[in-house]
Amino acid sequence: MKKKYVIAGIFTLAVSTAAMAQKSELANAKTEYDKFTVVRTGKLAANSLNTAKESIDKASANEKTAQLPQTYALKAAIYGSLANDSTQQSRDNLVTAAQEAYKKAETADTKGENKKLLDDTKLSLANYQLNKGVKQYQSGKYDLAYTAFDNYRQYFPEDTNAILYTGLAAANAKNNDAAISNYKKLLTTKYSKTTGIYSDLTSLYLMKKDTVSAIKIMDEATKKFPKNAELSKREIELNIQAGNKKEVIQKIESAIANDPKNKTLYYYAGLTYSSSKDYTKAAEYYQKALEIDPNYFEANLNLGYVIMNPAIDIFNGANKLPVSKQKEYTAAIAKSNALFDKAIPYLIKATDVNPTSQEALSNLKTAYIGKKDDAKSAAVQKKIDALNKK
């Protein structure tokens, strides 16, 4: 009896020693990992992290410690940190192992005792995906960058950089739906450069030929930032393209009230009235734009055009009159000449501001033809011919 008892005691002691050895490996892994977190970089950090890996691998291989929450959590943190070391081989394998350990730790750690380790792991894995995505983005591999950034975003779904980078990569990869989804998500955060995101979203919708959504998102933007001139301008442009004259005029008047010295707003008002052939009203707004900036090329060009356009109709109508209506013809030509004379200074100014504009030169030539000034018409044609030779 005594002999058997002694053997049993020795066996029990041996088992306890082995278990303690494995627990010491777990403790050593924790100690070395903690050393690493203090310095993070340099030879000392690398030595501590590699030693921590050796210990956690032994603890993970032993049935006594393999399934402990701390073992999973430590393995996840250690492997995740190693994955961010560019000198390591098979970094993707390290990430996979860290992810697997992380998931097991989340399940096993019901008391939340290893939260710090899990937080460290999440940050390491996110940084790995971020750095991977940046390199792929810089190499023009936008599809791969999008996948990496999206993986990064999974760890920190509310992080504005994660959302932004994912959206940028998706947009460059022509994955417009994914880009739109991320940009719309960004609008729900406290991201500081929201106005730019609204503009990008508008462009993405237009790429999908979804003008309705583009106008809707820009309407949301101008309501949120009513004094932002660029957003107002973009919304006006979209509505002009869509032919929404009434809505455009209302928005322009509202924008002008907020920014009365903005020449572009008056120009867009003129453009809106021009598109509906209300040339008198258009001329009023172009004139207001020129009062702010006399050298405004587009306003000069368009003002000359809206004054000249009725003159062309009158001129053409006069030339269709029968010879018997000489009096009516003379009156019509006099009226058209008066309008051509009024338009010409603005068209000359447009050509002065932009001498290479064929549109401005062509309009000026038309005015001289209407005036039957062959010499000046020929002189303008020479300028047009010179531009065509370049």
Residue 113 located in a structural domain? yes
Residues 6+ apart with CB under 8 A from 226: 254, 258
Per-residue pLDDT for 17 more than 50? no
In this predicted structure, the answer to whether residue 7 has a pLDDT above a threshold of 70 is: no
Q: In whole angstroms, give the CA distance from residue 350 to residue 367.
A: 13
Please indicate, yes or no, if residue 112 is contained in any of the structural domains.
yes
State the total domains in the chain.
1
Residue 220 within a domain? no
| pLDDT higher than threshold 90 for residue 258 | no
Boundaries of domain holding 106: 26-139
In the predicted structure, residue 12 carries a pLDDT above the cut 70: no
Q: Give me the pLDDT at residue 24, please.
A: 87
Would the pLDDT of 1 be above 70?
no
174 occurs within a structural domain: no
- Span 46-103, pLDDT tens digits: 888 889 899 999 999 988 898 999 999 999 999 999 888 877 778 889 999 999 999 9
Contact 105, 72 (CB under 8 A): yes
How much is the average pLDDT of 247-272? 88
Range among 43-47, 265-269, 362-366 rated most confident? 362-366
The answer to whether residue 163 is domain-embedded is no
Answer whether residue 9 is part of any domain.
no
pLDDT bucket at 3, cuts 50 / 70 / 90: very low
pLDDT of residue 18: 44
Mean pLDDT of 135-158: 94
Instruction: Identify which of 117, 89, 103 has the alpha carbon closest to the alpha carbon of residue 29.
Output: 117
Please tell me the predicted confidence (pLDDT) of residue 46. 86
Mean pLDDT across the stretch 336-340? Answer: 96
13-17, 237-241, 318-322, 352-356: the lowest-pLDDT one: 13-17
Closest CA to 83 of 127, 25, 35, 141: 127
The average pLDDT across 157-184 equals: 95
pLDDT score of 176: 95
The CA-atom distances, in angstroms, between 233 and each of 199, 211, 264 are 11, 16, 8
Mean pLDDT to the nearest integer, 198-218: 93
| Mean model confidence pLDDT for the chain | 88
Report the percent of the chain where pLDDT is more than 70.
94
Name which residue leads in pLDDT, 243 or 290. Answer: 290
Q: Is residue 213 one of the residues assigned to a domain?
A: no
Provide the pLDDT for residue 23.
56
6 has a pLDDT exceeding 60 = no
pLDDT digits (tens, 9 = 90+) for 229-247: 788 778 888 888 888 888 8
CA 280/CA 243 separation, integer angstroms? 19
Residue 82 lies in a domain: yes
Dihedral of the CA atoms 331, 337, 339, 343 (nearest 10)?
Answer: 180
Does the pLDDT of residue 122 top 90, yes or no? yes
Q: Taking 70 as the threshold, does the pLDDT of residue 146 lie above it? A: yes
**How much is the pLDDT for 358?**
94
Please name the residue that has the structure tokens 């920190």.
156
Cβ–Cβ under 8 Å, residues 211 and 241: yes
